[in-house]
Amino acid sequence: MKPNDVFSIRDFFNYYLAGVFWLIDIVVSVMLLSKLGSSEIDLPKINSFLNDANSILTATGLIIIPYILGFILNPLGTKLMEQIRNRDNEAVRWVTDPAHRLAGQGLKEWEREKIMAKVKAIYKIQNKTFEELFFTIRAYVEEYGKGASLLATRALDLANFAESLVIPLPLLFIVIGFWFATMKSVWAILFIGIGIAIFYFLRRRYLDLRSYWVKHVYRAFITIKDE
């Protein structure tokens, strides 16, 4: 087993960048709470401490701490997106459901028929829904898809990236907005509004990318030649 099979650069990047935003969120939140508590933060002392710290340890901390934060807190975004998907927007369901409100963006009838016929031929399975079969089909595509699975893999990587940022990035702008609110600045409304807008667009982008992933998995399955 190669190291890339367990730990990829994409995994590190997703967790690390999200962790950077989580770390900034935490620092800004602590500073905001300190400000509300009328406790002054001695920035010169903090700067002096960082200057005196060993450069190797500092660099190591800048790499490891955000990654650990991203790794630990990423399930929050995963859980939030799961709740949003379950509100009638789970692509694993609607992509193959001709009666769904989003059916026009899903698979065509001939694609559904070809997928089901291929499943029956390969696995001798009948009377199963597409939702029940999806992850079995995905495993088959991962095993035999080769080039056909590249688009699905790319869409899933981008969906995971959007999912990792869906909480910490908007939260950063919202916390900064509250910071300005303590100073009674009109910038508060702007930053809070930007945070809400970023959450909306990341949420929308995530749902689109997940639907692309599901559709690419099914279409890759169709294109794979029978063994």
pLDDT at 44: 62
Q: How many domains does the chain have?
A: 1
Task: For the chain, 227 residues long, give each residue's pLDDT as a single digit of tens.
Answer: 454 544 567 777 778 889 888 988 888 888 777 766 655 555 565 555 555 555 555 666 777 888 888 989 999 999 999 999 988 789 999 999 998 888 889 999 999 999 999 999 888 887 889 999 999 999 999 888 777 788 898 999 999 999 999 999 999 999 999 988 988 888 999 999 999 999 999 999 999 999 999 999 999 999 987 55
- Residue 186: domain span: 3-223
**DSSP letter for each residue of 47-63:** HHHHHHS-HHHHHHHHH
Is 221:107 a contact under the CB 8 Å cutoff?
no
**Longest distance between any two alpha carbons in the chain, whole Å:** 71
Residue spans of alpha helices (H) in the chain: 3-6, 9-36, 43-52, 55-85, 91-94, 109-123, 130-144, 150-165, 168-182, 187-223
The pLDDT of residue 15? 85
DSSP 10-29: HHHHHHHHHHHHHHHHHHHH
In this prediction, residue 184 carries a pLDDT of 85
- pLDDT number for residue 65: 84
C-alpha 160/C-alpha 93 separation (Å) is 19
pLDDT score for 1:
41
Whether pTM exceeds 0.95: no
